[in-house]
Amino acid sequence: MDKRNDADLEKMKQIAASGNDEPLLMLNLNRYIVGEYPNGNGYTEWRKVNKQMLDASEGKLLFVLPVRGQRLSNGISEQLDAIIGFWYPSHQSFLDMTSLDLFKRNGELRNQIIDWAAVYRCDPSDLAKLT
């Protein structure tokens, strides 16, 4: 993990411990290993394990958006297969997932099926501004 990831994890812990914890939206930008998305065995198994983790943390899968193409790259050439939105009722509920037995299995499966990924922590209240 790089220093920015460490810093964001620490920020999440501070928010969780602050007494003002709030919901969060995690956006996962994924490019999968060829043949995995959307019907590969590894992808299917990962989604099952991921659902169990979400259920245990009271999180929700909001959407899986297949990416049709890339319009503007500004020099970044990461082609994506899907953007996934996960909602969690609090930063603590997200952090609690790391202590689940399923967490390790989830990571193993992700490593087997994902070629490239970026995960962004967002404020879900901004979604209401879209409508």
Q: 24-49: per-residue pLDDT in tens?
A: 999 999 999 999 999 999 999 999 99
In angstroms, the Cα distances linking 127 to 24, 69, 82, 84 are 11, 23, 19, 14
d(CA 50, CA 36): 16
> What token pair was written down for 68?
């049709």
Whole-structure pTM value: 0.90
Pick one of 1.10.490.10, 3.30.70.100, 3.30.1370.60, 2.40.30.160 as the CATH number of 22-68+79-125: 3.30.70.100
d(CA 43, CA 46): 5
Q: To the nearest whole number, what is the mean pLDDT of the chain? A: 92
d(CA 41, CA 36): 7
**Burial (CB count <10 Å: 0-12, 13-18, 19+), residue 29:** middle
Q: Given this model, what pLDDT does residue 73 score?
A: 67
pLDDT tens digits, residue range 55-84?
999 999 999 999 998 877 676 667 899 999
Domain ranges in the chain?
A: 22-68+79-125
pLDDT tens digits, residue range 68-127?
988 776 766 678 999 999 999 999 999 999 899 999 999 999 999 999 999 999 999 887
